[in-house]
Structures are given as C-alpha cells and as structure tokens.
C-alpha cells in the first residue's frame, strides 16, 4: 500500500501555487478529490495519485476509436433544433 499524504503534502506535489488549507478541506467535504481522502484523527490522508475533479463539468465517458458520442438528454431548445420530440414542458 502506498504511503498516505496529508492535504498540504498532496497539494505541494500537485499545484505550483498552493491552495489554502481551508480550501483543501472544503474540496474534501464537497467530494472534489478522488479517491476520497480518509480522516485519520483530525487530519485527512489521501493517496499520492489522487486527483481534483471539477463536479460542475459534465461527465465524459472514454470512447473507443470507432464510437460516436450520442446525446441521451438535452434542453428543450436542443431537442427542437435537432428535430426530437420533447417529452415534457415545464412552466
């Protein structure tokens, strides 16, 4: 098992300008670091290969070379532009 790092050690390896400790703790609470850090006593510990995930961006799936990206849902405007029927209309 790899050695677990605390938040400041991890941030010093990942970022050139360090975010504050309160920002790092907020990211942990909001689930923005994957895999999720573990609380050891009063300190969060995480794996060295943990990454920051922006939860506001859409999730993308890895595609193989021959696949096309398909839309499963979209806004009403997108459905109207592409000729799809809208299932519901919210007012």
Q: What gap in Å lies between CA 34 and CA 47, rounded to an integer? A: 9
Taken in order of first residue, the domains within the chain and their CATH numbers are 5-52 (1.10.1660.20)
pLDDT exceeds cutoff 50 at 17: yes
Can you give the pLDDT at residue 54?
80
Q: Over the stretch 35-90, which tens digit does the pLDDT of each residue have?
A: 999 999 999 999 999 998 887 775 544 444 454 555 556 677 776 777 655 556 56
Query: Phi and psi of 9, rounded to 5°?
Result: -65, -45
Torsion angle in degrees (nearest 10) through CA of 31, 33, 39, 45 = 180
């Amino acid at each position: 098992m790899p050695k677990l790092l605390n938040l400041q050690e991890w941030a010093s390896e990942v970022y050139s300008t360090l975010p504050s400790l309160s920002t790092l703790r907020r990211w942990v609470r909001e689930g923005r670091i994957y895999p999720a850090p573990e609380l050891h006593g009063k300190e969060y510990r995480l794996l060295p290969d943990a990454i920051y995930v922006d939860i506001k961006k859409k999730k993308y799936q890895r595609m193989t070379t021959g696949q096309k990206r398909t839309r499963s849902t979209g806004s009403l405007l997108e459905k109207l532009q592409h000729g799809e029927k809208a299932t519901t209309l919210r007012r």
